[in-house]
Amino acid sequence: MIKGKGKPGEVEATADMFIEEVRDVSQVTCVADVEVTGILASVGQRVMGGVAKIILGQFFKAVEKEMKKEINQV
């Protein structure tokens, strides 16, 4: 859980990630719940989805990079 508070508003979020094997491949599922208040909620709602996609994209690129390192070491 993360919490943040500032002049533009407050953010409270939780996220869960699950990895499971489906038909001989690993599937990652991410479920998040975010509450935003204040000016941030009214003005920032347009960009928050895009920011979330960017952050998740960075996460998966980092995971892929680490997996390739492990494969190359074997």
Sorted by where each starts, the structural domains of the chain and their CATH numbers stand as 2-73 (3.30.530.20)
Closest Cα partner for 48 from 32, 64, 30?
Answer: 32
* Tens-digit pLDDT profile for residues 4-54: 898 888 889 998 989 999 998 888 888 988 888 888 788 776 777 787 888
**3-36 b/e (C-beta count within 10 Å ≥ 16 → b):** eeeeebbebeeeeeeeeeeeeeeeeeeeeeeeeb
Residue 62 tokens, joined: 């980092």
Q: What is the pTM of this model?
A: 0.57
Output the CA–CA distances (angstroms, integers) from residue 66 to 9, 51, 59, 72, in the order listed.
36, 23, 11, 10
